[in-house]
Structure 1
């Protein structure tokens, strides 16, 4: 093994170790959300679609793709280019592979970090990014080619940017190595931290008939139904982030009380997820860890909003294009 191979093995180990650490923190990564990459000459290793960053040291979650091919397509203005996976991998490269190729840095991390998302969903977002890490802002676009095109346009204007804030979506950080990415993220989290609202004590009410549903055993998620401030928001401000919509649907099923829920089931209402005011949050028994992680993320974002904050939600056309997309159907099929 030559020195170059040793360096690449070291970089892979460093990226995998860091991904496992951030992937274990639900305030940074939720289920299969987020992705990471590193570059090695004309090859870029990127997280596979549907895999979990937290498993980076236990499973083979990275796919090598032809970086030279992607860069040639980008130079020609072809942002619909399909990444070429190398080495016969059976996994699909991340939906956001092109975003990683656009970033010039060696190591790139994309996270749906709650402390950052809590700001990115606000209509009056103002980035408190550290001066030592240049940043840029990109309006919401559908993940994939549309988002890559918007990022490409912004990076042409601000090629020095190491932080890319994605409205209602997340943050992208590029660095020369894992240490630089880690330092930038730590600085962002420190300056964007918001004190969560104090939880509301449950009133002790219990729904009489839940049929096939069961209580989600997460005290934070239960606050979505128990805290009137949060319940009001989920009725009007449900569609905040793309992953949230893909995994949980375009709207929340809200009920004023248990009797209203029971009555709705008798006329065939979908009973996969229900928010019953003052009672609790209930879900189908096969709801799964991936959906639970997205629901917890939604709670963590809402609980960090000032009472007067106006939130930006995805529009009906934006919801429709997310929910009718083969790439996201694939990711859902891999969810657990």
Structure 2
């Protein structure tokens, strides 16, 4: 069946948003548009940045999805007469199906995340978002638990902006243009400047990587996770949001003075995976040579978020239960595999999304 013209609008908008690392990192984030009884939603593991170059949207039966969700079933039925596809609908397809807006855009905005991981920011958020139809949710496991929580909020009245605790931002709108404009408005309201000193520079870790499975990350900002004391404290204290856990693990490990990165191979002998990234306090960050593009993007995202948290911020980390639920989730394992299969030909973007 021929695809609707409005899908091209979704592709263009998604590609623009996906190329801004302040909004989307790697395979994170998703977008959708409703056309009759069809919900066109981003496929799991694909990158919004590829929306114009690749076929990344899956046609879901909107009525079928809502019936399935009402019965507690997270499997999204494909729309009839659209052919088969090997792609799975986004992990958050249930959220897109339950929201009433024609267009739904979910981003992992570093500014929103920096606000959403704080337990002391309620009044500031209310002041900055005054005049918008918005709500804040505490952390919910992605997928059905999050979708049900959002559905309950939507039933109480119109809500166009959702700040998801330890997760990101969701907006709903009448069109792709208004959804993108709403995200831009929220971004301007929630914009945070990185702390003085929490800026990236070339690390002093190159010689530590020689003969090991590690290398320096592409983006120099990643080194600030080790060279800025506040960033180091945040990155080693726990996990902040789902993609942090899925691609980097929980609290990032550090390399003790005099220790060699080659020692991380002992983890493999003990049956444990070696850490994806390691911080060398005062010197910089390193990442595994075989790390996926998604993991590289998440390390950059963590630096972007951490540098925007005030020194006195009351930070709320994900619990060990939350982390295990994410790591043992089949949907996330599938997304990781899709991200790994994508290859490493895409450069890491700068803060401006270039």
Q: Could you state the TM-score of these two structures normalised by the residue count of structure 2?
A: 0.86
Name 1:181's counterpart in structure 2: 179
Q: Tell me, what secondary structure is at the counterpart of 1:335?
A: helix
Distance 1:203 1:54, change over 3 A: closer
Distance 2:105 2:203 in 1: 43
| Residue matched to 2:72 | 79
Which residue in 1 is equivalent to 2:15? Answer: 20
The residue aligned with 1:329 is: 333
What SS does the aligned partner of 1:173 have? strand
> Cα offset for 1:318?
0.7
Structure 2 residue 303 is matched with structure 1 residue 299: yes
Q: CA deviation at 1:246?
A: 0.5
Which whole-Å deviations, capped at 9, do the CAs of 1:146-201 have from their partners, x for residues lacking one?
111111122222x3001111100011100011122122111101110011123468
1:311 to 308, 315, 321: 315
* Cα distance in structure 1, aligned partners of 2:317 and 2:331: 22
Change (3 A) 1:203 1:81: closer
CA shift in 2, pair 1:203/1:246, >3 Å = closer
Matches within 5 A, 1:215-294: 215-236=216-237, 238-257=238-257, 259-262=258-261, 264-265=263-264, 267-268=266-267, 270=274, 272-294=276-298
Asked if structure 1 preserves the Cα contact closer than 8 Å seen for 2:68 and 2:75, the reply is no
Larger displacement relative to structure 2 (77-86 or 178-187):
77-86
Report how many residues are paired: 326
The answer (yes or no) to whether the contact 2:203–2:223 under 8 Å persists in 1 is no
1:118-165, Cα deviation, whole Å (9 max, x unpaired): 1011112323454553112221111111111111122222x3001111
CA contact (8 A) 1:122 1:312 kept: yes
Q: Kindly tell me: are residues 40 and 254 of structure 1, through their superposed partners in 2, closer, same or farther at Cα, counting changes over 3 Å?
A: same
Task: Extract unaligned runs of 5+ from structure 2.
Answer: 269-273, 341-354
CA displacement 1:61-83 (0-9 Å, x = unmatched): 00000101122344xx3232411
Q: Does 1:61 align with 2:60?
A: no
Contact conserved, 1:207 with 1:279, CA < 8 A, in 2? no
After superposition, give the CA deviation of every residue in 1:224-248 in whole Å (9 maximum; x if it has no partner): 1111221122121x30000110011
Aligned to 1:96: 92
Deviation larger for 206-215 or 262-271: 262-271
For residue 321 of structure 2, give the secondary structure of its aligned residue in structure 1.
helix
Partner Cα distance (1:173, 1:334) in 2: 26
Q: 1:180 to 1:264 in 2, by over 3 A?
A: same
What does residue 170 of structure 1 align with? 168
Contact 1:202–1:226 (Cα < 8 Å) also in 2: no
Q: CA deviation at 1:335?
A: 1.3
Does 1:121 find its partner at 2:117? yes
SS at the partner of 2:106?
strand
Say if 1:301 and 1:16 are closer, same or farther in 2 by CA, change over 3 A.
same
**What is the deviation of 1:217?**
2.9
Q: Distance in 2 between matches of 1:33 and 1:119?
A: 18
Partners of 1:31 and 1:262 lie apart in 2 by 26
CA shift at 1:32, angstroms? 0.5
Q: Name the SS of the counterpart of 2:60 in structure 1.
A: strand
TM, length-normalised to structure 1 = 0.90
Structure 1 unaligned spans of 5+:
none
Equivalent residues of 2:18, 2:24 under 8 A apart: yes
Query: Which shows bigger deviation, 291-300 or 81-90?
Result: 81-90
